Amino acid sequence: MVPLLLVLLLALILFGAGFALKALWWIAVIVLVVWLLGFVVRTADSGGRKGRWYRW
């Protein structure tokens, strides 16, 4: 009985970790796209130079 519970617990942990990693990959892709779009759509500031789109 105990080995069966350990296998089920391991499967549950691995399923949760797989879901979390997949979600983190999607978040990383979205952040990368937004970051790259920032360089494409950045606007010129009042001095005529290209300004930064972020405030880091």
- Give the residue carrying structure tokens 């797989």: 18
Read off the amino acid at residue 40: V
In this prediction, residue 12 carries a pLDDT of 87
In this prediction, residue 48 carries a pLDDT of 53
Q: So where are the chain's domains?
A: 1-39
- State pTM to two decimals: 0.55
Read off the amino acid at residue 29: V
Q: What are the mean pLDDT values of the chain's consecutive 10-residue runs (56 residues total)?
A: 86 86 89 82 54 57
